[in-house]
Structure 1
Amino acid sequence: MEKTVKVSVIMLAYNIENYIEIAIKGVLSQKTDYPVELIIGEDRSTDRTYEICKRYQEKYPELITVIRHEKNLGYQRNYMETYKHCRGEYVAVCDGDDYWFDRRKLQRATDFLDTHSQFAICFHRVVNYYEEDGSKSLSNGHQRKITTISDLAESNYITNSSSVFRRCYYPEMPEWFAKFTSCDYALHLLNAQHGNIYYFGKPMAVYRKHSKGIWSETGMDRRLDIALTTREFLLDYFKDRRTDVYNGLRQAHANICLNLIRYYISSGQPQRIEEAEQRLLKYQPQWTLNDVKRQETLRPRQAGKRIKAQIGKMLTWGRETVSRYIPLPRVNTEI
């Protein structure tokens, strides 16, 4: 009798021929006492990405399914269409330009979720790898072990390729997810309505930051706009459902708006400044335009804060320099 798939792994792939193979190997190398499936959403790449995915599907047909769309759908639609093919009790995400190097990552996550029904999501620390200069860092400094949806509303601290969550809450992603790019953050927030979030401090994956990444190819103003759009949909969703979540999202929205306004000020775009101000005031009706303008101007740092910031920069430079000589974790390729 065929065993039921316990974990479905989503992997999105588009023009990442230099990265996709190690991502696939990281999933295949997982040691679990249950079946796993890998669903690859291949979004009509123009390089060798599909060829590589197809080769692995033919080699491991019982484990890998490659979904190739008839046309390029973009990140959010690709995510949604790939998600529809998941059969597992749990869903894990590994973006095609990241990879897992800990062979027991999935087993650790499901062992925890199996025995802690009050948790909806778990995630873990990752190694951030900055390809441009070869430096590395660890994510989630000072991260608390247990957090809630209220914490997640204030900021997104979950690296996508580290997350594992229960599929039962949303067997299919809501159609309104197609309207914005950061559907992963929105899905985590929806899932977190049903339980707490657990953090493993052990690094188990590499998160690449490179020029071909979605965020890397997007300008600062566009990135901030995407973050705002995502939160505006979520604000409308949670307004009459969770006051604490709504307030957390509202504060995050205001901070992002102010950063966007400061960007427009520095780049000399007065019309954009006015648009962003009105966008902010929509969700902060207790503020006046003068309140907004007062906060737009960054206050000069006090001497003590400037010294602290300077020391922080020196420490960061030292970490970056040393990290270039530390090799990246490897995937055990003995599959």
Structure 2
Amino acid sequence: MNIPEPLVSISCITYNHARYIRQCLDGFVLQKTTFPFEVLIHDDASTDGTADIIREYEMKYPYIIKPIYEQENQWVKGRRGSAIFNFPRAKGKYIALCEGDDYWIDPLKLQKQVDILESDKNIGFVYSKFQLVNFDNMLIENYSTVSNQLSHSKTGYLLPSLLRNNFPQTLTVVFKKELLANFDKYYSYGYDWPLFIHICGKCKSVFLKDVTGCYRTNPNGMMASGTLKDVDNGGFTTLSGAFRAYLCGEYKVAPILDKLKINVYMYYRLSKGDIKDSVELENCVKSRLLYQLMRRMIFVWAFLLKKK
């Protein structure tokens, strides 16, 4: 049987999501598209029956559902995320993201986003509105975190904004796979914030104003538990990678005004000395007039605070 190559690879990582994984997988297989897609699932040795449910879907959709079942948990060994287990085996031109406890509600989600990506070669990242739900699928309204994310969401070149806030919701994202190039060169851990910075630093992004899926609040999740903050040194490791990539010309598509915004923010953070490898990075920019001006301003500001 001649099976066509997928245009989109859906990347899903899951661990002990038996309560939710059916809803997640249903959101994938119910997608109505004019193109083939694949679902790459990495189950990290779940102990609650998640893998058994995935096997049901694998048998029913053998040409779509493509799982990896771990016998030993890889997270505790430091091997973590889609960048290790799903991205390298993705056959699609585009990659869509959704974790096992989240789900899509729009059957045309992928079609809408791929149509946008195919319409302009400069567009490499499409994300959308979303809803927040609790463990029982009850809608949570007027939540400040969601409002904050959506207030930052826009179409255009996102890097200056992403350096300050990680606002695209992962389950809504589809991006061009080729933009992953050199990610490992600058970032030590592949969670969503450095991933989005790296991709959006190379392309134009589009914000789709349709609600395409639901993000589930999870007090035991990586973000809420603070695990990623520990791994990422409060975000400073990611910023170090982003600044190194920018200084090396990785994100050269930035418009002039955005480059100025990036430079000001970078010089400010480096002048404060709160970025990992700041000495190395400062050596790259210490001769620049704007950086020297920023250093003097911060020195005067710190001096005035001490006098108070």
Report the TM-score when normalising by structure 2: 0.75
User: Pairwise mapping of residues 1-335 of structure 1 onto structure 2 (< 5 A)?
Assistant: 1-74=2-75, 77-80=80-83, 81-131=85-135, 135-136=140-141, 137=143, 138=146, 139-141=149-151, 143-170=153-180, 174=184, 177=187, 179-180=188-189, 183-218=191-226, 222=230, 225-241=233-249, 244=260, 246-247=262-263, 250=266, 286=295, 291=301
Q: How far apart are 1:228 and its partner, in Å?
A: 2.0
CA distance in 2, matches of 1:295, 1:96: 48
When the two chains are superposed, the root-mean-square deviation of aligned CA atoms in Å is: 3.5
CA distance in 2, matches of 1:83, 1:245: 31
CA distance in 1, matches of 2:195, 2:228: 24
CA distance in 2, matches of 1:206, 1:70: 29
CA distance in 2, matches of 1:295, 1:219: 33
Is this contact kept in 2: 1:101–1:205, CA < 8 A? yes
Q: How far apart are 1:50 and its partner, in Å?
A: 1.5
Structure 1 window deviating more from structure 2 (150-159 vs 105-114): it is: 150-159
CA distance in 2, matches of 1:94, 1:252: 35
CA distance in 1, matches of 2:198, 2:276: 24
CA offsets 1:181-225 (integer angstroms, 9 cap, x no match)? x53222222222432000011111101121231112227964883
SS in structure 2 of the partner of residue 52 of structure 1? helix
CA offsets 1:144-187 (integer angstroms, 9 cap, x no match)? 3333333333322211111111112336852664x33x532222
Q: How far apart are 1:34 and its partner, in Å?
A: 1.0
CA distance in 2, matches of 1:68, 1:249: 43
Q: How far apart are 1:92 and its partner, in Å?
A: 0.4
Q: How far apart are 1:291 and its partner, in Å?
A: 4.0
Q: Which runs of 5+ in 2 are unaligned?
A: 253-258, 283-290
CA separation of 1:253 and 1:164: change in aligned 2, threshold 3 A: farther
Q: How far apart are 1:18 and its partner, in Å?
A: 1.4
CA separation of 1:227 and 1:5: change in aligned 2, threshold 3 A: same
CA separation of 1:194 and 1:232: change in aligned 2, threshold 3 A: closer
Residue identity matched to 1:149: L
CA distance in 2, matches of 1:42, 1:57: 13
CA distance in 2, matches of 1:65, 1:155: 33
Report the TM-score when normalising by structure 1: 0.70
Q: How far apart are 1:93 and its partner, in Å?
A: 0.3
Percent sequence identity over matched residues?
Answer: 20
Q: How far apart are 1:61 and its partner, in Å?
A: 0.7
CA separation of 1:210 and 1:290: change in aligned 2, threshold 3 A: farther
Structure 1 window deviating more from structure 2 (159-168 vs 98-107): it is: 159-168
Q: Provide the aligned length of Structure 1 versus Structure 2.
A: 275
Structure 1 window deviating more from structure 2 (66-75 vs 118-127): it is: 66-75
